[in-house]
Amino acid sequence: MSILRVTKYGESILRQKLKPVDYKELAPKLPQLLKDMEETCLAVRGVGLAANQIGLDYRMALILIPESDEENAPLKRYVIINPKILSMRGEKIEEEGCLSLPGLWAEVKRATDVTIQYIDENGVEQVKRARGLLAKAFQHEVDHLDGKLFIDLLDPTLKPEIKKAIKKLRSKWN
């Protein structure tokens, strides 16, 4: 197992809209890939990690999320391959960050209730309705796979401020 380097804002792969992958082609690589992605996600205390955040152009992401609201609840893993958001409902503004923009946090408007379709790590098609943190994670990760970052969702008037903040943070990124 290994902890992988997470790509950072400014690297072109984060701006790529990733094409669906062929599950059968991906399957042999999947066990090792998921181990590495999970280890990386845990090491950087992330909620999710998209393939382009580790430099791969697969349309897939991994999400690690507490099973319940209880303290120290075990983490549940979602592997979403070729995900597609089928519907979005509700609206909530909450603080959000991203492993590819470490140190930057901003209030982002997201749907509170989403239904997503994807292929799971066993190759089975799933349709899942999610609320709360999981709904937010699904939206954040699907955005990554579409080449979007959470800062794209901010009010355009905040752009100069965000640019300045990124400039400052950048020197600390690896």
Residues making contact with Zn ion (CB under 5 A): 98
Residue 80 or 98: which CB sits closer to Zn ion? Answer: 98
Report, in Å, the least distance between residue 84 CB and Zn ion: 18
Q: Could you tell me the smallest distance in angstroms from the CB atom of residue 50 to Zn ion? A: 7
Supply the minimum distance, in Å, between the C-beta of residue 20 and Zn ion: 20
Residue number, 24 or 172, with CB nearest to Zn ion: 172
Write down the catalytic residue from 96, 121, 141, 161.
141
Segment holding 41, helix H or strand E: helix 30-43
126 — phi, psi (to 5°)?
Answer: -125, 145
Q: Say if CB 139 and CB 148 are below 8 A apart.
A: no
The distance in angstroms from the start CA to the end CA of the chain is 20
Q: Which is nearer to Zn ion, 33 or 61 (CB)?
A: 61
Concatenated DSSP letters of 127-169:
EEEEEHHHHHHHHHHHHHHTT--GGGGS-GGGHHHHHHHHHHH
| CB nearer to Zn ion: pick between 23 and 99 | 99
User: 3-class DSSP state for residue 121?
Assistant: coil
Give the distance, in angstroms, between the CA of residue 159 and the centroid of all CA atoms in the same chain. Answer: 22
Instruction: Note if 141 is an active site residue.
Output: yes
- Closest contact distance (angstroms) between CB of 140 and Zn ion is 5
- By annotation, the residues acting in catalysis are 141
